[in-house]
Every structure is written in C-alpha cells, then in structure tokens.
Structure 1
Amino acid sequence: MTTSEVRIIHVTIHVPIERAYAFVHRPENFPRWAAGLADSLRPTERGWVADTPEGEALIHFSEPNVFGVLDHRVVLNGKPDVVVPMRMVPNGDGTEVQLVLFRQPGMTDADFKRDARMVKGDLGALKTLLEAER
C-alpha cells in the first residue's frame, strides 16, 4: 500500500459558514483568492480551464452541497490527476476551512514547502476577503 505525505492547512474565518460557502463554492470566485488560478481560470465548453506552467488544465469542482465539500480535481494532459480535498465546517459563528495538500510523486521537499506556503497564502487571502465584506 502506498500513501503520500500530506499537509492539512486550515484557517478560521470569522463569517458564518453559509456566507463563506456561498462565495467559495462558485468557481468564478476562485481567482479572487486562489493565486494559482487568479489570471486564467475561465469557463469553456469543456468546463473550467486554467493555464499552468505545464499547460492548460481542466478543473473539475464538486457540486454545491450541504456538507461543506469544496473538492476539486486538476487534470493536465499526460499527468496524473491532482485531487484537492477541501472542506468548510462551522466553528461557532465562524467557519473553519481545511485543505489537504498531497505531496505529488517526484515533488522535491522545496516544491512541497512552496506549495504549502502558496495554499496558506491563498487561504489567508480568502479570510481577508470574506472578513472585509462583513
């Protein structure tokens, strides 16, 4: 059995989960807080597409749901799919956002740390954005 190294990155956002989820579950809002998708995420006839250093990626987002699931899958030609589990759960009057970052096969320590910093920055940007709109 093979497993991957993971980092669970989380942030507490001081807005109700209903409001936080209503914003984040919409792919068109990802560029407002997710730096990796900021400039290029767009709807196409094939679904949501983003430009990456490795080429065009198809992004599949989970359907809106009552469980706070915000998973998405990144599909690049010739590469294994990257699954990004993400959840929102109530935390009192606020929201806890959790993302599981999997270390991809062949990823260096430096690249894994860089990805973790980027995700932490993205979640921080989401917190700032949502809390500023209170």
Structure 2
Amino acid sequence: MRSRHVSHVIPVTPEVVYEYASNVDNLPEWAAGLAQSAVVRDGDELLVDSPMGWVAVRFVERNHFGVLDHDVTLPSGTVVRNAVRVIGHPDGAEVVFTVRQIELDDAAFARDLEAVAADLERLAQCVSRKPGS
C-alpha cells in the first residue's frame, strides 16, 4: 500500500483554517471528495453521501494541535484512517492530508490524489473569503 502527502498553503492563520475545517457542517462546501450533501449525525458518527456512496465518518475530538484525523467506513466495510494536520507555515497555515492507496488501482489512486488537492484548494478559497481571515 502506498501513501502520499498532499498539502496546500493557505494565507490565513492555522486557527482560522482549523476552526472552519473542523466544523462538519462545512464539509459539503469544501470536501467534495467526502461529502456531497448535508452531513447526517448519528451519535458520534457522521453519515455522508460521498462519491463512493454513503459512508460513515468519525473525526477525532476537537483539539489544540490542528489534528483533523478521521476514519471513513466505506460501503465495502473497509475503514480508511485519514491523517490530516493544520500546521503553522510562514505564509499562514499548511494543511497536510495523507492519502493511502486502499482498495484502489493506480489510476484510481491518482484520481483520489487529485480530488484531495482540489478539496484543499476549495478549503483555501472558503477560509480566505471569510470575514476576519
């Protein structure tokens, strides 16, 4: 299994990026690779209509370290653990997302990497146009 890190530098503070990205209600606005419509809450679990079909998502608790790790249970039952960090950068914040090649051939893995890069670009656009950012 291969892993790749996809990152994007955003010219706002890490706190602003984390606050926006950790709010699951914002997922459909920027994380099209995960949520294509409003998030449905089921206890600690989130149900989202994704490009892969309905999936269950569970995020780590909010924290002061910029950690946005989350497990995604695919329709196949496979659980994918996604490591995501919002870290300080000289130009603002850097979001780093580790993408793992689970249940994907090489072409699908390449598309997944592109989708994550596009999601991080949308995240940058969303937080950059927020008042006070």
TM-score range, shorter chain: 0.7 to 0.9
Q: Partner amino acid for 1:42?
A: V
SS at match of 1:99: strand
TM-score when normalising by structure 1: 0.87
Q: CA RMSD in A?
A: 1.7
Write the deviation string for residues 9-67 of structure 1: whole angstroms up to 9, x where unpaired: 00000001111111111111111101123423423334310124554211101111011
Q: Distance in 2 between matches of 1:123 and 1:54?
A: 19
Match of 1:100 among 95, 98, 101: 98
The 5 A counterparts of 1:1-134 are: 4-46=1-43, 47-52=45-50, 54-92=52-90, 94-105=92-103, 107-133=104-130, 134=133
Task: Name the % identity.
Answer: 33
Using the TM superposition, give the Cα deviation of residue 91 of structure 1 relative to its aligned residue in structure 2, in angstroms.
Answer: 0.9
State the Cα distance separating 1:74 from its structure 2 match: 0.7
Change (3 A) 1:52 1:38: closer
User: Does the 8 Å CA contact 2:33/2:116 hold for their aligned counterparts?
Assistant: no
Unaligned runs of 5+ in 1: none
TM-score (ref. length: structure 2): 0.88
For these two proteins, the number of residue pairs brought into alignment is 130
- Amino acid of the structure 2 residue aligned with 1:31: P
Q: Is the 8 A contact 1:35 1:122 kept in 2?
A: yes
Runs of 4+ in structure 1 displaced over 2 angstroms? 36-41, 43-47, 51-56, 76-79
